[in-house]
Amino acid sequence: MEKVPSKEILAKLITVTVLNKTGKKIDEFQMRGGSNLWVFIRKRGLPIGSACSGVGVCGACHLKVTEKNPQSISEKNNFEKETLANNQKSPDERLACLCRVSGDITIQADYW
């Protein structure tokens, strides 16, 4: 079961830095702490895969996440690991639709 974010996390504004595949910064936006990363990327208008509508089975929303603090993003669970493996994605990547963000992060995708 997914943990409910604390009031402190919900009150935070998180900065998300977006890099393209070459590492160049292409965007930066803020989102409310505890929010779903995939939802905010879509709201921002960045193209991101969504073949399964964000339920974590297609692997299309895969991206790299770099965080200063390991608690900045929800832990990768077995379901996410299995989806990455089943869709031949790198085990180092994350599925945006399964990530809740609670601290500043940098994201990078090979399709940006």
Q: Give contact residues for ligand FES (rule: CB under 6 A).
A: 38, 49-52, 54, 56-61, 83, 95, 97
Compare residues 12 and 18 and give the one whose CB is closer to ligand FES: 18
Token look-up 């803020």 returns 30
Least distance to ligand FES, CB of residue 67, Å = 19
CB 16 within 8 A of CB 40: yes
Least distance to ligand FES, CB of residue 55, Å = 6
Task: Please state, in angstroms and as integers, the Cα–Cα distance from residue 61 to each residue in 6, 13, 38, following that order.
Answer: 26, 23, 7
Compare residues 12 and 80 and give the one whose CB is closer to ligand FES: 80
Token look-up 């994605």 returns 89
Compare residues 14 and 95 and give the one whose CB is closer to ligand FES: 95
Token look-up 């990327």 returns 41
